[in-house]
Amino acid sequence: MTIMRNQASRLVLLTICLMYLIFYVDRVNLSTAAPIMQKDLGLTATQLGIAFSAFAYPYAFFQIAGGWLGDRLGPRATLLICSLLVAVSTIWTGLVGGLLGLFLARLCLGIGEGPAFPTATRALSNWMRPDQRGFAQGITHAFARFGNAATPPLIAALIVAFSWRDSFYLLGVASLLWGALWWFYFRDDPRKHSGVTPEDLEGLPPATVAATRKQVPWGPLLKRILPVTLTDFCYGWILWLYLNWLPSFFLHEFDLNLKKSALFAAGVFFAGVVGDTVGGIISDRILRKTGDVGKARISVIVVGFLGSFCFMLPIVFVHDLMTVAICLSMAFFFAELIVAPIWAIPMDITPEYSGSASGFMNFGFGMAGIISPVVFGYAIDVTGRWDVPFIGSLGVLLLGALLALRCKPGQRFVDVRDNPVVVTKPSLKPV
């Protein structure tokens, strides 16, 4: 935050951080409430996996469509619409009576959250300098992981105090309140914000402000971002594993009650809060020191995948609760080092189309969310073991480290309709 001199920029970043927090609580609240809901609604583990995956179908599609919408309508209008849909779907979840209603409510939530993070990336492109982007992505996703960490004890407390249905009602209201705050304070163009001075605009890339009316060059852009999409799929596979199954893993594998399993899950997720922040700070520090955007982003991503692999491996051999909890926490810490640099890559490659580019990148994350919950649920039903999904994900971590080497954020995408030349190794100067 010390490199952000302007208070308006800080408040915009804080508002986006709050969105990540609220939306992630709404996304993962089902995993904490799942044991109670599963019994109340009469669902099997496979059916619960289907309900988990329902969120990811529209979420994956609206990564691309929503990113484009954010580029066209602007972040202010797009994120207001998102907050309204998230509020409706969260309240709807509290009203469901079976698998069908739960599936449809989660579909609606995926529609609302799908455009949110690509559009937030577009907003950050408008408001942040290149050497602020890693930190901005790291701190926003740190708030998301704080939402992950806070959700298990929060939802458990609400369920004990009220009911699992009431917990969803209260969270829906929080999304509505955020939407009102966003519409009141944010402006798509920082030049139109009353709290911004000409000095504060120094270093901002002007092209990102004027791209909303340009047609997106889909073919070349998708080809350029595809390696980042595949890398994000591998990261998403691991994150969905934690988000959907971690509370149930502690509850069933170690015979804990709801409160204790929620506390252990929260401890693991808090390690991710630190990982998100550290990953962004390290990435931006490497960029300022070397001027090499490829080294700044890719080195951190590769270390994240390999570190997560090393700390998840002991789970295969150890069944001690505290040892497993510590290993999972460290594995999650390293996995979350990936987030800030991988989300900064679309802004590095194409600030002008960062909403569309980050949407296509996070399409990989959404596809992982479609496939992994059903695979994991089926594996648990067949084997009766709740550690199988973690053991089976080790290979994905190694694959992600290899794919990261092909992302090449130092090669700037240039629309051939304007300029056929590809510029490499962008500097920290305004673009």
Choose from 40-54, 144-158, 275-289, 379-393 the range with maximum mean pLDDT: 275-289
pLDDT for position 401: 94
The whole-number average pLDDT for the span 344-373 is 81
Q: If you average pLDDT over every residue of the chain, what do you get?
A: 80
Query: If residue 336 lies in a helix (H) or strand (E), which one and from where to where?
Result: helix 321-336
How far apart are the C-alpha atoms of 269 and 102, rounded to whole Å?
A: 25
CATH classification of 7-190+220-413, choosing from 1.20.1250.20, 3.30.1960.10, 1.10.357.10, 1.20.1050.10?
Answer: 1.20.1250.20
- Residue 214 — pLDDT band, cuts 50, 70, 90? low
Helix, coil or strand: residue 412: strand
CB neighbours of 229 closer than 8 A, spacing ≥ 6?
360, 361, 363, 364
How far apart are the C-alpha atoms of 243 and 32, rounded to whole Å?
A: 9
What residue spans define the domains of the chain?
7-190+220-413
pLDDT for position 417: 58
How far apart are the C-alpha atoms of 76 and 289, rounded to whole Å?
A: 34
Which of 76, 102, 139, 92 lies closest to 284 in space, CA to CA? 139
pTM above 0.75, yes or no: no
**pLDDT tens-digit series, residues 49-101:** 788 778 878 877 787 777 777 777 888 899 999 999 999 999 998 888 888 88
* Widest pairwise Cα distance in the chain: 62
- Comparison of pLDDT for 284 and 255, the residue scoring more: 284
The count of residues in the chain is 431
pLDDT for position 419: 53
The one-letter amino acid at 357: A
User: Inter-axis angle of helices 218-253 and 394-404, to 10 degrees?
Assistant: 150
CB neighbours of 113 closer than 8 A, spacing ≥ 6?
23, 26, 27, 55, 59, 82, 86
pLDDT for position 423: 43
How far apart are the C-alpha atoms of 43 and 36, rounded to whole Å?
A: 10
- Comparison of pLDDT for 197 and 358, the residue scoring more: 358
pLDDT for position 422: 44
How far apart are the C-alpha atoms of 219 and 214, rounded to whole Å?
A: 15
Integer Rg of the chain from CA: 21
Sign of the dihedral defined by the CA atoms of residues 81, 134, 31, 399, in that order: positive
pLDDT for position 202: 65
Only one residue has tokens 């709404």, namely: 26
Burial code (b: 16+ CB inside 10 Å, e: under 16) for 176-195 equals: eebbeebeeebbbbbeebee
**pLDDT tens-digit series, residues 238-248:** 888 887 777 77
- Comparison of pLDDT for 226 and 415, the residue scoring more: 226
Burial code (b: 16+ CB inside 10 Å, e: under 16) for 278-293 equals: bbbbbbbebbeeebeb
CB neighbours of 53 closer than 8 A, spacing ≥ 6?
369, 370, 371, 372, 373, 374
